[in-house]
Structure 1
Amino acid sequence: MKFRQLLELPFHHFQAKQEKWLYVISCSVFFMIFALVYQPFGLSAEIESGEHTFVQLFALIGFISTVVFIVLCVSQFVLRERFPNTKNDLRYFLKWFLIDIALVVFLSLIVEITFDNDELNSVEAILDELVFDVVMTYFALVFVLLYPVLGTCMYVYLKQLHNDKQQLKTDLDVVTTHYKMVSGNEELIKILDEKGECKLTIPLNNLYAIESKNQYVSIKYKRNDILMEQCIRTRFSKLLDELQDIPGIYKCHRSFAINLFNVLELKTINQKPNVILDEAEALRIPVSKTYLKDVKAQLSKY
């Protein structure tokens, strides 16, 4: 793969606010820890010379870390919003990463010139500060902050893979269930009466609804594309308990349960929600407010 093709790869990380905060905080904290442990940029030499105490250097490192934090916040939450890019490729992310480093170095330089202007009393000193120190600091910061950026990218990528895996698993379960239902290979449903005797055996695809009628239940199903109804003496709750392991059967009303696989649409009729189970709307089942939210959620899966 050519380098140009690599830069054109899609890069959808650090788009959400939570991911941006993770990027900002990880870079700021890592810089402080790295500076305290390894003491780069001549910090160790200044400690050994005794010109500055460790407390003063700690305050300096904390100040620079704060500068890094502020600059990254402005860059991620202000500048990137002002200059959006719809492509969101790797080139776009690397460009903003290099801009972030440049802003940190530039702001640090302004602060240093403001408070240490005695040392910049000649053109040579200014050129040395602007050319040599700034360039060296820039590349050093690129190297240092690359570690937290790569670590954050890996964390976000693994988290996204986990979420995608969970979504794929959910989609696969739905597809598998759908395939099983439409293939005609599902087991037959046995409807038992109150004594446990089988009174009706039908494929799940043919079952449309179950209605409670006092001490009886009315089974609404189709046979040879003809809508039929059979009453069986048993309790509604008892029958639903016996069918709880059958996918697609869902209670939508205190007196009704439906087969979600046969629902055509959820429709408001006379200002009341109903599920339509037949193309001619001959079979309409009411949905109570108690179950309406759950029914909508279940229908989105089927």
Structure 2
Amino acid sequence: MLFLLVYQPFGLSAEIESGEHSLLQILALIIFLSTVVFIVLYVSQFVLRKRFPNTKNNLKSFLKWFLIDIALIVLLSAAVEITFDNEELNSVNAILDELVFDVLITYLALVFVLLYPVLGCSMYVHLKQLKNDKQQLKTDLDVVTTHYKIASGNEELIKILDEKGECKLTIPLNNLYAIESKNQYVSIKYKRNDALIEQNIRTRFSKLLNELQDIPSIFKCHRSFAINLINVQELKCINQKPNVILDEASVLKVPVSKTYIKDVKSLLSKY
């Protein structure tokens, strides 16, 4: 409706300037045209496209459906107009003039008038999708880079600080398995020489996670637990509650709360 009021195509500007029709009649015409477009696009988007699915989302497919939508709009408008038109079509020339010539002219006019705003909307959606794809590729690249550093043995060591800011533990990132909150302490679960070790350090759980926030693989999965996604073996339910298994022997299990389960599943697909 806004498009029709601003651009006034299909002779609307002449109708408005002539003064032959009242404002109410013009608004009724605009509402009628908008309703026809709504009905056609609803049927096209949610009925026809499901019956004739197209796997190739390219310009050719876009233009094909655009032309089909325009044809449906014109045919429905013509059918409604003929149904409620008081003039009788007695001659062949009148029928051809009303059903063929007028419909064809309206169809061509609609194609030219609507092509540029529809293409503009399509271009906007395409550019927005490209931006999202770029962000996703950047995220995936960060994950790959992290894995490469770990596999090549060139990753930086991480430092665990106590409440006074003193370094109490330094370990390679791929040796860290989990962090557990224990009141005024945190329990660091890591491996050294293939042995699982737990070391308690006096500091707040939230403070430590804030210090390690730049490491994407360290993720809080419970109010009292954080895990290193690199070392997660699997996610499974134990006693009907989700847990992550962090070692091959299934000794180290960490619960996952409902708040974080969706994010954990999404992140594990990358790791």
Note whether the superposition's TM-score is higher than 0.5: yes
One of 105, 127, 141 as aligned partner of 1:172: 141
Q: How does 1:16-31 map to 2 (within 5 A)?
A: 29-31=2-4
| Structure 1 residues 135-169: Cα deviation after superposition (integer angstroms, max 9, x where no partner) | 21221111112122112211211221222222223
Structure 1 position 186 matched with structure 2 position 155: yes
One of 82, 86, 89 as aligned partner of 1:120: 89
One-letter amino acid of the structure 2 residue matched with residue 175 of structure 1: V
Is the CA contact (8 Å cut-off) linking 1:212 and 1:256 kept in structure 2?
A: yes
One of 104, 112, 118 as aligned partner of 1:135: 104
Task: Give the whole-Å Cα distance in 2 for the aligned partners of 1:33 and 1:239.
Answer: 57
Decide whether aligned partners of structure 1 residues 252 and 145 sit closer, same or farther in structure 2, where only a CA change above 3 A counts.
closer
- Quick one: higher RCO (CA 8 Å, sep 6+), 1 or 2? 1
One of 218, 232, 244 as aligned partner of 1:263: 232
One of 33, 45, 48 as aligned partner of 2:6: 33
One of 96, 106, 126 as aligned partner of 1:157: 126
**2:14 aligns to what?**
44
Task: Give the whole-Å Cα distance in 1 for the aligned partners of 2:17 and 2:183.
Answer: 89
Deviation at 1:122, TM superposition (A): 2.6
Structure 1 position 244 matched with structure 2 position 212: yes
- Unaligned segments of structure 2, at least 5 residues: none
Is the CA contact (8 Å cut-off) linking 1:274 and 1:287 kept in structure 2?
A: yes
Is the CA contact (8 Å cut-off) linking 1:210 and 1:217 kept in structure 2?
A: yes
CA RMSD in angstroms comes to: 3.6
Task: Give the whole-Å Cα distance in 1 for the aligned partners of 2:181 and 2:15.
Answer: 86
- Unaligned segments of structure 1, at least 5 residues: 1-27
Task: Give the whole-Å Cα distance in 2 for the aligned partners of 1:228 and 1:76.
Answer: 57
One-letter amino acid of the structure 2 residue matched with residue 237 of structure 1: F
Normalized against structure 1, the TM-score is what? Answer: 0.70
Decide whether aligned partners of structure 1 residues 268 and 82 sit closer, same or farther in structure 2, where only a CA change above 3 A counts.
closer
Normalized against structure 2, the TM-score is what? Answer: 0.77
Deviation at 1:105, TM superposition (A): 2.1
Is the CA contact (8 Å cut-off) linking 2:243 and 2:253 kept in structure 1?
A: yes
Deviation at 1:69, TM superposition (A): 2.6
Task: Give the whole-Å Cα distance in 2 for the aligned partners of 1:134 and 1:254.
Answer: 66
One of 207, 210, 222 as aligned partner of 2:176: 207
Structure 1 position 144 matched with structure 2 position 116: no
| Structure 1 residues 116-140: Cα deviation after superposition (integer angstroms, max 9, x where no partner) | 4536343222222233222212211
One-letter amino acid of the structure 2 residue matched with residue 285 of structure 1: K
Q: Which moved more, 1:145-154 or 1:247-256?
A: 247-256
1:222 counterpart SS class: strand
Task: Give the whole-Å Cα distance in 2 for the aligned partners of 1:59 and 1:240.
Answer: 66
Task: Give the whole-Å Cα distance in 2 for the aligned partners of 1:229 and 1:84.
Answer: 56
**1:284 aligns to what?**
252
Task: Give the whole-Å Cα distance in 1 for the aligned partners of 2:27 and 2:71.
Answer: 23
